[in-house]
Amino acid sequence: MLNKKIYFEDDADSSILNGKIVAVIGYGNQGRAQALNLRDSKVNIIVGSIVDKSRQKAISDGFKVYPIAEAVGKADIVFILTPDEEMPKLYKKDIEPYLKENATLNFASGYNIAFNLLKPLPDKDVIMIAPRMIGLGVRERFLNGEGFFSFINVYQNVSGHADKTLLALAKALGSLKAGGIVTTMKQEAILDLFNEQAFGPAFGRVLLSSINILLKNGLPPEAVLCEMYLSGEMSYTYKKMAQIGLVKQTNFHSNTSQYGAMSRGIRYLSLNLEEKFQKTFDEINSGSFAKEWDNPVSKIKFKLIKYFAMRQKINKIENEVRKNLKLNNFITDNAEIDEKEIDKLLKNPMIKNEIDIIKDLYDYDY
């Protein structure tokens, strides 16, 4: 078992992967990045996929691609890289019945196991390598030799060498160049969800409030958005936080900047965020969020929330600013929801009141 808090490349023995076949199930952002990294590290990779455009991408990338059940049946190690909400059903139908006797399961998130939505067979090695980076970053940092942090865990060690398999795979992925940090499955899930549900939304609300104040006071939209995030200064500051330290990086800013931030920062100490953050933590830790998201009604709510979120006033402003600054307007793969479907969903009495609040919160404009 893992007996240290952090692991690096010197801790891994790649030879344990010799002769092993690794099946990557799901070829989305993480699946593609991890499959390419593993192949570049000389690991024998196949892909399991449904028939969609990601399957065609895997084929064009030169992988042998099989239906999911067939890929699982061929593999010694199975990487499950499908969306959280689809995983339990997929696991029961196309993965569990086809696993080899001595197969190892690797999860990139602790979510489903942590909240008892998926129960792996007790006679299989089960590990977790959860990159703290989106798929694009996993690939880029592998290629530039920088590496990326991962949370790692041995959940079941039936063979007695699941830890060795985990470390060899983490090294092949490129993660141990930065470090593999040991957490439980639940700790990984809590950290991931808390960042998404507490810090992220709070930061987003602060950013939007700042933009609204500046625009209301007559400053040009192009200048406001450039100052707040389009220039990339904030992302650069975040990078320096990671490299040097949260407070130490302030030394790169002017004395005027430092004095203003430190003296005026006192005004925002009473935002009462800790109480709200604790509530979010408790919802995650207790499993109530996972239970809520597993409810079909939440899938309806999600469609509506996303519909209104994508139609905030800031989106109109940003599109115009990007046009004026000659910046690219990126098109995402998310399909538009039909207006008739929205009208039908809005009549659902179970969520009407919640959605009315959300419309106001998002400053719905069009």
Q: Which pLDDT score is estimated for 352? A: 67
Tell me the pairing of strands 6-7 and 21-25.
unpaired
| Ordered DSSP codes for 229-261 | IITSHHHHHHHHHHHT-TTGGGGGS-HHHHHHH
Mean pLDDT of 318-345: 76
Helix (H, G, I), strand (E, B) or coil at 12: coil
Q: Does the structure show a pLDDT above 50 at 295?
A: yes
Cβ atoms 303, 335 nearer than 8 A: no
Q: Which pLDDT score is estimated for 322? A: 92
- Each residue's pLDDT tens digit, 153-206: 999 999 999 999 999 999 999 999 999 999 999 999 999 999 999 999 999 999
Alpha helices in 174-312, H assignment, sequence order: 185-194, 200-216, 221-225, 233-243, 255-264, 273-286, 288-293, 296-309
Q: Which pLDDT score is estimated for 329? A: 76
Q: Does the structure show a pLDDT above 60 at 333?
A: no
CA 196 to chain centre: 9
Which one-letter amino acid corresponds to residue 57? K
> 183 Cβ partners below 8 Å, 6+ apart?
110, 151, 152, 153, 191
- Each residue's pLDDT tens digit, 242-277: 889 988 998 999 999 999 988 998 888 878 899 999
Q: Which pLDDT score is estimated for 349? A: 72
CATH of domain 6-183: 3.40.50.720
Helix (H, G, I), strand (E, B) or coil at 215: helix
What is the Cα–Cα distance from 308 to 293, expressed in whole angstroms? 19
Distances (CA, A) of 158 to 31, 91, 111: 26, 19, 21
Q: Does the structure show a pLDDT above 60 at 334?
A: no
Helix pair 29-40, 53-60: axis angle to 10 deg: 20
Q: Which pLDDT score is estimated for 366? A: 45
Mean pLDDT of 213-240: 94
The band of 129, judged by pLDDT with boundaries at 50, 70 and 90, is very high
As beta bridge partners, residue 312 has 364
Q: Does the structure show a pLDDT above 80 at 142?
A: yes
CA 252 to chain centre: 30
Longest dimension (CA), the chain: 68
Q: Where are the domains of the chain?
A: 6-183, 295-366
**141's torsion region: left (phi>0), alpha (psi -120 to 50) or beta?**
alpha
Q: Which pLDDT score is estimated for 247? A: 87
Mean pLDDT of 311-334: 83
- Each residue's pLDDT tens digit, 13-67: 999 999 999 999 999 999 999 999 999 999 999 999 999 999 999 999 999 999 9
Cβ atoms 260, 164 nearer than 8 A: no
As beta bridge partners, residue 25 has 48, 80
| Nearest residue to 25 (alpha-carbon basis) of 56, 70, 92, 85 | 70
Q: Which pLDDT score is estimated for 365? A: 55
Helix pair 29-40, 162-173: axis angle to 10 deg: 100
